[in-house]
């Protein structure tokens, strides 16, 4: 298994993790065609640090809750892994990833470039029953870029004011989105996309030591209602997910909302936790929970700290997983 303690043998790697810079999201290449609710662009620098400490280099990244997929895309473009297994249950999102992988990127980019955006045109387009996967992909991109917060879940609606009062136009950058889609063709053959249950795919790879996992499940904060507002698929057995993590031979990194329930669960599995600051879409600074086996490398980030002592020192009964 690739471990962080092994990096002690490689001082150059240590230097990389000993000099973390504050997260500057603007410096992270935006490679995803989506603007994704709960998207992890802000986590990219941390993800890079994590993989930089690994020796030998992992071969495959499994992202069981891929969404907009920024972590997998970064890992492929920056050659942090050879291959990414991206898993997403939402068939609308899946249509985009499948179209890119199956050779329809050019068609999709063209459709985006030639679409004349107006409220009426969007309404007419999205009420049509798509006949092909690529048509469904186009509808998904259109909704994602014109709906409030990029949210596709039921009940979502058009951006009212958007940036500078530009309404539905405020996130529709046809040239940029088309370019991102076309760029993906250079890595498409290294993506193994599955519209499936992420937990099952984790189990499939669990015996492999050369695989790492970036796990970003739908959130629990605010209860089911909050999850339902953001994603079509929001219900998840979180206990089962943490049990699945225990079985993985490869290393994993999981991001979660900073909820007491989650911290108790993580602690009961003997996992480590750190809180990392991030700025949300409303420009408020919040802390997000990171869970893993050995997160000591994260202590090089000045703003990162362990959650309150009650979760780290109090004896919490060890959770038993049915195998
Ligand atoms: C927090 S979002 C992931 C965001 C992603 N990390 C990004 O940067 O865009 C969680 C995603 O998990 C998906 N999802 C929910 N349950 C799933 C399951 N059982 N298997 C695969 N995907 C699932 C949701 O549709 C949602 O897109």
Residues 6+ away with beta carbon under 8 Å from 189? none
Mutation probe of ligand 1 site: the residue of 37, 62, 67, 255 with most atoms within 8 A of C-beta: 67
SS3 per residue for the chain: CCCCHHHHHCHHHHHHHHCCCCCCHHHCCCCCCCCCCCCCHHHHHHHHHHHHCCCCCCCEEEECCCCCCHHHHHHHHCCCCCEEEEECCCHHHHHHHHHHHCCCHHHHHHHHHHCCCCHHHHHHHHCCCCCCHHHHHHHHHHHHHHEHHHCCCCCCCECCCCHHHCHHHCCCCHHHHHHHHHHHHHCHHHEEEECCCHHHHHHHHCCCCCEEEEECCCCCCCHHHHHHHHCCCCCCCHHHHHHHHHHCCCCEEEEEECCHHHHHHHHHCCCEEEEEEEECCCCCEEEEEEEECCCHHHHHCCCCECCCHHHHCCCCCCCCCCC
pLDDT of 222: 58
Residue 5 CA to ligand 1 center (angstroms) comes to 31
Q: CA distances (Å), 110 to each of 25, 85, 93, 98, 114, in order?
A: 28, 27, 19, 17, 6
Residue 36 CA to ligand 1 center (angstroms) comes to 10
pLDDT of 14: 32
Residue 197 CA to ligand 1 center (angstroms) comes to 10
pLDDT single digits (tens) 19-78: 344 456 667 899 999 999 889 999 999 999 999 989 999 999 999 999 999 999 999 999
Give CA–CA dist 47/77, Å, rounded: 13
Q: CA nearest 287: which of 265, 268, 269, 262?
A: 262
Pull the structure tokens for residue 288: 């997000």
Residue 68 CA to ligand 1 center (angstroms) comes to 9
**Structural domain boundaries of the chain?**
5-89+196-312, 108-185
Residue 218 CA to ligand 1 center (angstroms) comes to 6
Q: What is the mean pLDDT of each run of 10 residues along the chain (323 residues)?
A: 38 34 69 93 95 94 98 98 98 98 98 95 94 98 89 76 71 96 98 98 98 92 66 91 97 94 93 90 83 94 82 59 69
Which fold does the domain 5-89+196-312 belong to in CATH?
Answer: Rossmann fold (3.40.50)
pLDDT of 101: 97
HSE (CB half, 13 Å, CA atoms) of 142? Answer: 25
pLDDT of 316: 60
Q: CA nearest 193: which of 285, 83, 290, 292?
A: 83
pLDDT of 254: 98
Pocket of ligand 1 (CB under 6 A): 36, 38-40, 64-65, 67-68, 70, 87-90, 197-199, 216-218, 231, 233, 236
Mutation probe of ligand 1 site: the residue of 231, 238, 252, 278 with most atoms within 8 A of C-beta: 231
Mutation probe of ligand 1 site: the residue of 43, 44, 63, 88 with most atoms within 8 A of C-beta: 88
Contact 134, 99 (CB under 8 A): yes
Dihedral sign (CA 49, 255, 101, 178): negative
Closest atom of ligand 1 relative to the 87 alpha carbon: 21
Closest atom of ligand 1 relative to the 197 alpha carbon: 20
Q: pTM of the full predicted structure?
A: 0.89
């Amino acid at each position: 298994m690739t471990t962080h303690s092994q990096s002690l043998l490689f001082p150059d790697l240590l230097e990389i993790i000993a000099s973390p810079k504050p997260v500057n999201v603007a410096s992270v290449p935006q490679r995803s065609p989506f603007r994704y609710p709960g998207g992890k662009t802000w986590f990219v620098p941390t993800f890079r640090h994590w993989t930089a400490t690994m020796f030998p280099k992992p071969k495959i990244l499994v992202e069981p809750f891929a969404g907009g997929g920024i972590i997998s895309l970064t890992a492929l473009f920056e050659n942090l892994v050879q291959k990414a297994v991206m898993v997403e249950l939402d068939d609308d999102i899946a249509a985009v990833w499948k179209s890119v992988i199956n050779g329809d990127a050019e068609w999709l980019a063209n459709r985006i470039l030639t679409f004349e955006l107006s409220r009426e045109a969007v309404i007419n387009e999205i009420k049509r029953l798509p006949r092909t996967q690529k048509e469904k992909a186009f509808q998904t991109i259109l909704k994602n870029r014109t709906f409030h917060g990029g949210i596709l879940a039921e009940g979502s609606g058009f951006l009212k004011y958007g940036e500078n009062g530009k309404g539905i136009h405020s996130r529709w950058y046809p040239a940029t989105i088309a370019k991102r889609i076309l760029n993906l063709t250079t890595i498409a053959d290294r993506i193994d996309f599955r519209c499936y249950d992420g937990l099952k795919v984790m189990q499939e790879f669990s015996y492999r030591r050369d695989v790492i996992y970036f796990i970003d499940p739908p959130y629990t904060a605010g209860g089911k209602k909050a999850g339902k507002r953001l994603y079509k698929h929001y219900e998840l057995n979180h206990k089962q997910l943490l049990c699945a993590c225990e079985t993985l031979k490869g290393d994993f990194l999981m991001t979660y909302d900073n909820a007491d329930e989650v911290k108790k669960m993580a602690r009961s599995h003997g996992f480590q936790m750190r809180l990392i600051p991030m700025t949300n879409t409303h420009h408020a600074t919040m802390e997000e929970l990171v869970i893993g086996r050995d997160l000591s490398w994260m202590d090089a980030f000045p703003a990162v700290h362990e959650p309150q002592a009650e979760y780290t020192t109090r004896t919490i009964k060890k959770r038993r997983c049915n195998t």
